Structure 1
Amino acid sequence: MGKITNGENYYRINITYSNNSIFEGINQEWTGTQWINSDRSIFTYTGNNLTQVLNEEWNGAQWTVVDSYRDIFTYNANNKKTAYILETWENSTWEEEERIEYVLDATGNRTTETEIFNGNNQYRVEYNYDTTSLLSDFFHPFNDKTGADYIYEDVPHVNAITSQTILISNPSTNNLEVTARVIYDYNNQITLNVQNFEASNNVTIYPNPSSEFIAIEGLQQNETVSIYNVLGTLVKEKYVTPNQRIAIKDLNSGMYFLKLENGYTIKFVKN
């Protein structure tokens, strides 16, 4: 897997499999004369469940955990995901940076999704369902999750999802407040939000493209940013500080729009 820009090599990913599951992915960059290692991800499984992804940096001679991070996943007895934890290597120990907790009902539907950053709730998504209908009876955008792009996420909906409400932390009150709602219509097809985006010339995203993290350069204050896919569907919201990294490894590959509170947006690509 690789990328060619203007006819020239840019980067590539070497993927190794074990028992038909991804075991290792090594990112390499092209110097103009040779490929050099950049970073790698090592995947650990318990049964069929992905439980950890260790991301190490190449220091020019060997792989090292310095400036590295790891993703940890927990599951319930029914093999449904209950938490995602991001830890970074700080002063010879792993420290939690971000956590997303999932609550499920008895059927296996994800009812809430809460992001916790530095011990504080940043956002929560609440899901509602038609418990008389199965999602598998409809055409929908949550299926066909196969391949490396979807390895981080399972299908969290058993019944037909009818709506989701998004709550974002108000930094003034530290309370979660409703900011958006998505309604799904199954009469003909699922209706997705359509956003109008206005480009910003003063704020940029780096690195772009990226496969793991992005940061916002030129942000003057703390604020909540929203990430939309090309269909206009909200896929992530986060309260950030200037130059704070935003994890995007859980997003599918493709083009996205990051929207600021003032309505301006920046386009970026997830590898």
Structure 2
Amino acid sequence: MLLYFLFFFNHNLTVKLMNKCLQNLLSGKALKIAAAGGLMLTFLTDAAGQFRKDAPAFSSAQELHATSTASRFASNNSLPGNSDDYSPQGGGWGLDTKSTYRYNAAGQQVARVVRTMPSGQFQVKDTMAYDASGNISFYENYSWANNAWELWYGYKSLVMKNSAGQVTARISQSVKGGNWVNAYKDTTSYNSAGNMAEKVFYNWRSNAWEPTRKEIYTYGTSGNTPDGILYQKLMGGIWVNEKRLFSISWYNFNNFQKDGFFGSFQVHGYRSQTWSNNGWVNLSSDTTVYDNLGGFVSTSQYWDASANAWVNARRHLHSTDNNRNFIGSKNELWQNNAWGLDTDYQEILTYNANGDITERIYREWDQATNSYRSFQKQVYYNFTRISGIKEASLPLHVQLYPNPASDRVTIQMETPLQTTVLISDLTGRPVYKHELKPTDRQLNIASLAKGTYIIRLQNARGTYISKFLKQ
């Protein structure tokens, strides 16, 4: 699914990134479950935006950021209608393709058409749709063949919910031979507090759903945020332990971040163990430190049984500019008691006077030549301001509890400030607005009907958006 999804952005860049993915897989760089997001518990998500921790993550930010044009301009107030796509040719840049983009009123990309240059021949077309929460719910990718568009890949998800608005089952489908066919399914059960308790994953085989993996969530004293996840696989009709995460320290559990089909819950750290010889064996210890612009540094350690200690293994640095746009990802390995470069990837951005990104150059560190090698350039133009795009803001660090709640919710912020609270239903219709004073910590939601809502907090320090359940 990952390789198909990369076609959301740029065909020529995608081919290069697909090769990178394969290289990472073959070299073993993609084996860490959370490497893609700087150890942020990053996973692939389905079209409904639900996270899929059973899917493999990738260690390079190239894969993480190869998403739709709209997502790559998330901190800008206008979006490009066109881009020219270049690759290195003869010591300079040669024009490969021209792309045209179309957006809806909310600034979400709904279509893209790519033409090969210099002939102007059609090459690739994408169409997509979104649900009420802004997550991709439908995607189709076409290639131009025999003077007509031919459906090459498609993806959609069918979601079932309970009376409280929680997802209980999800069936994902893809296109095969021009027809929509089942691909995988997952079911979710909840505990008495309304928190996710168990998730079971299925594959579609021989015209039937076959269970393959299970996740069991445990909760600490906070009650609403899991402090452990147990992974099991089905072997011979019996569920057996495979791996577990424990001592999970959350940076912002409620703020589920989604970038295309990638999703991540931000954590400060966790430890993992693998099941071996009927017992748990230490596997990894991961910590992440965040800055206030969306960047972070993550460090992974492995357990050295002979030394009975955690030992540095890998470090991932994720960099953003002052506009919170991604500009680089670096992976380092611990060798000879020091961090040594493994991979280094950068995006060089050029802005115009309006703050729009007009050019993006992709480059990576070539250890053979000991220099950076540029492998792709995109030039953007025909910018249009989309009214649905909000001004960029920093994320607030907020704890919202209890969740679910019946009459009151407590809002705990690192820095109490005058804060505007806006609650909307899942269609985006505002149902509650309140000015929260710095001394206030609780909201009275008794008047709200039962269901799932989106809460938005905004003050001088930034913005916080999350879902909560009214019981």
Q: What is the TM-score of this pair, normalised by structure 2?
A: 0.30
Q: What is the TM-score of this pair, normalised by structure 1?
A: 0.49
The higher radius of gyration belongs to 2
Relative CO higher for 1 or 2, CA cutoff 8 Å, sep ≥ 6?
2
